[in-house]
Amino acid sequence: MTKMPDGMKTFFEPESVVVVGASATQGKPGNDAVRNILANGYRGRLYLVNPRGGQILGIGVHRSVQELPEAADLAVIILPAADNARAIRECAAKGIRFFVLAAGGFSEVDEQGAALQKELARAVSETGVRVIGPNTSGHTSTPYRFTSSFFPLGKIPRGRVSYVTQTGNFATHTMRYIITGEHFGLARFVGLGNKLDVDETEVLDFLADDPETTAVLMYLESLKRPRLFVEVARRATKSKPVILLKGGCTKEGARAAVAHTAAMASDDRIIDGALRQAGVTRVWDYTHLIWAAKGLSMMPLPKGPRVSFLAPSGAMLVVLTDLCRDRLGLEVPEVEEKTRRRLQEISPPYIRMRNPVDIWASAVVHGVEYAYREAMEALLSDPNIDAVVPVLMLTEDTGVPPLDFLVDLAKRHPEKPIYATFSGDKRYMDEGKAFLEPQGIPTFPMIEEPFHTLSILVRCQKAMVRGQRFPGAA
Amino acid sequence: MTKMPDGMKTFFEPESVVVVGASATQGKPGNDAVRNILANGYRGRLYLVNPRGGQILGIGVHRSVQELPEAADLAVIILPAADNARAIRECAAKGIRFFVLAAGGFSEVDEQGAALQKELARAVSETGVRVIGPNTSGHTSTPYRFTSSFFPLGKIPRGRVSYVTQTGNFATHTMRYIITGEHFGLARFVGLGNKLDVDETEVLDFLADDPETTAVLMYLESLKRPRLFVEVARRATKSKPVILLKGGCTKEGARAAVAHTAAMASDDRIIDGALRQAGVTRVWDYTHLIWAAKGLSMMPLPKGPRVSFLAPSGAMLVVLTDLCRDRLGLEVPEVEEKTRRRLQEISPPYIRMRNPVDIWASAVVHGVEYAYREAMEALLSDPNIDAVVPVLMLTEDTGVPPLDFLVDLAKRHPEKPIYATFSGDKRYMDEGKAFLEPQGIPTFPMIEEPFHTLSILVRCQKAMVRGQRFPGAA
The Cα B391–Cα B257 span in angstroms is 39
The Cα B19–Cα A407 span in angstroms is 43
The Cα A441–Cα A448 span in angstroms is 17
User: CA of B92 to nearest chain A CA: how many angstroms apart?
Assistant: 30
Nearest 5°: the CA angle A352, A356, A362 is 55
Sheet architecture: strand order including B74-77: B55-56, B59-62, B45-49, B16-20, B74-77, B98-101, B130-132
Percent of chain B with pLDDT over 90: 83
Q: Which of B322, B400, B430 to mutate to test the interface with A (most CBs of A within 10 A)?
A: B322
B chain contacts of residue A291, beta-carbon cutoff 8 Å: none
A chain contacts of residue B397, beta-carbon cutoff 8 Å: 27, 152
pLDDT computed for residue A473 by the predictor: 47
Please tell me which residue of chain A has the smallest CA distance to B104.
A350
Which one has a higher pLDDT value, B62 or A258?
A: B62
Whether residues A177 and B426 touch (CB distance < 8 A) is answered with yes
User: CA of B6 to nearest chain A CA: how many angstroms apart?
Assistant: 29
A chain contacts of residue B395, beta-carbon cutoff 8 Å: 152, 173, 176
| pTM confidence score | 0.94
Nearest neighbour of B360 by CB, restricted to A169, A257, A322: A169
Whether residues A446 and B256 touch (CB distance < 8 A) is answered with no
User: CA of A261 to nearest chain B CA: how many angstroms apart?
Assistant: 8
Which is it for the CA torsion B410, B412, B414, B415, positive or negative?
negative
pLDDT computed for residue A4 by the predictor: 47
Whether residues B332 and A252 touch (CB distance < 8 A) is answered with yes
Whether residues B323 and A284 touch (CB distance < 8 A) is answered with yes
The Cα B180–Cα B176 span in angstroms is 6
B chain contacts of residue A393, beta-carbon cutoff 8 Å: 169, 173
pLDDT computed for residue A219 by the predictor: 94
Do the beta carbons of residue B189 and residue B139 sit within 8 Å? yes
Q: Where are the beta strands (DSSP E) in B14-107?
A: 16-20, 45-49, 55-56, 59-62, 74-77, 98-101
Facing residues of B342 across strands? Answer: none
In eight-state DSSP terms, residue A55 is: E
Please tell me which residue of chain A has the smallest CA distance to B179.
A425
The Cα B122–Cα B85 span in angstroms is 8
Please tell me which residue of chain B has the smallest CA distance to A397.
B152
Do the beta carbons of residue B359 and residue B371 sit within 8 Å? yes
User: CA of B264 to nearest chain A CA: how many angstroms apart?
Assistant: 12
Nearest neighbour of B321 by CB, restricted to A256, A322, A395: A256
CB atoms within 10 A of CB B253: 26
Mean pLDDT, residues B184-189: 96
B149 has pLDDT over 80: yes
Nearest neighbour of A319 by CB, restricted to B168, B245, B322: B245
Local confidence band at B3 (pLDDT 50, 70, 90 cut-offs)? very low
Nearest neighbour of B177 by CB, restricted to A322, A396, A423: A423
CB contacts < 8 A, A to B, total 237
Whether residues B253 and A318 touch (CB distance < 8 A) is answered with yes
pLDDT computed for residue B248 by the predictor: 85
Average pLDDT, chain B: 93
CB atoms within 10 A of CB B407: 16
pLDDT computed for residue B6 by the predictor: 66
Nearest neighbour of B247 by CB, restricted to A319, A356, A447: A319
Whether residues B287 and A446 touch (CB distance < 8 A) is answered with yes
pLDDT computed for residue B351 by the predictor: 83
Please tell me which residue of chain A has the smallest CA distance to B137.
A313
Please tell me which residue of chain B has the smallest CA distance to A168.
B313
Q: What ipTM, to 2 d.p.? A: 0.92
Whether residues B393 and A169 touch (CB distance < 8 A) is answered with yes
User: CA of A169 to nearest chain B CA: how many angstroms apart?
Assistant: 5
Q: Which among A320, A310, A291, A332 has a CA at the least distance from the CA of A460?
A: A291
Whether residues B260 and A315 touch (CB distance < 8 A) is answered with yes
Q: Which among B135, B102, B136, B134 has a CA at the least distance from the CA of B34?
A: B102
Mean pLDDT, residues B419-434: 95
User: CA of A470 to nearest chain B CA: how many angstroms apart?
Assistant: 33
The Cα A406–Cα A420 span in angstroms is 9
In eight-state DSSP terms, residue A325 is: I
What radius of gyration, in Å, describes the C-alpha atoms of chain B?
25
Those residues whose C-beta lies under 8 Å from the C-beta of residue B110, and which sit 6 or more positions away, are: A350
Which is it for the CA torsion A33, A35, A38, A40, positive or negative?
negative
A429 to A426, A447, B181: CA distances (angstroms): 5, 12, 10
User: CA of B470 to nearest chain A CA: how many angstroms apart?
Assistant: 33
B115 has pLDDT over 50: yes
Whether residues B257 and A314 touch (CB distance < 8 A) is answered with yes
Do the beta carbons of residue B96 and residue B47 sit within 8 Å? no
Nearest neighbour of B396 by CB, restricted to A152, A259, A260: A152
pLDDT tens sequence for chain A (474 residues): 344 456 899 999 999 999 999 999 999 999 999 999 999 999 999 999 999 999 999 999 999 999 999 999 999 999 999 999 999 999 999 999 999 999 988 988 888 999 999 999 999 999 999 999 999 989 999 999 999 999 989 999 999 999 999 876 777 888 899 999 999 999 999 999 999 999 999 999 999 999 999 999 999 988 999 999 999 999 999 999 999 999 888 888 887 776 665 555 556 777 888 999 999 999 999 999 999 999 999 999 999 999 999 999 889 999 999 999 999 999 999 999 999 999 999 999 878 899 999 999 999 899 999 999 999 999 999 999 999 999 998 988 788 999 999 999 999 999 999 999 999 999 999 999 999 999 999 999 999 999 999 999 999 999 999 988 865 544
B473 has pLDDT over 70: no
Whether residues A259 and B395 touch (CB distance < 8 A) is answered with no
Whether residues A247 and B427 touch (CB distance < 8 A) is answered with no
Do the beta carbons of residue B404 and residue B420 sit within 8 Å? no
The Cα B429–Cα A181 span in angstroms is 10
pLDDT computed for residue B129 by the predictor: 97
Q: Which among B40, B4, B29, B3 has a CA at the least distance from the CA of B188?
A: B40
Local confidence band at B398 (pLDDT 50, 70, 90 cut-offs)? confident
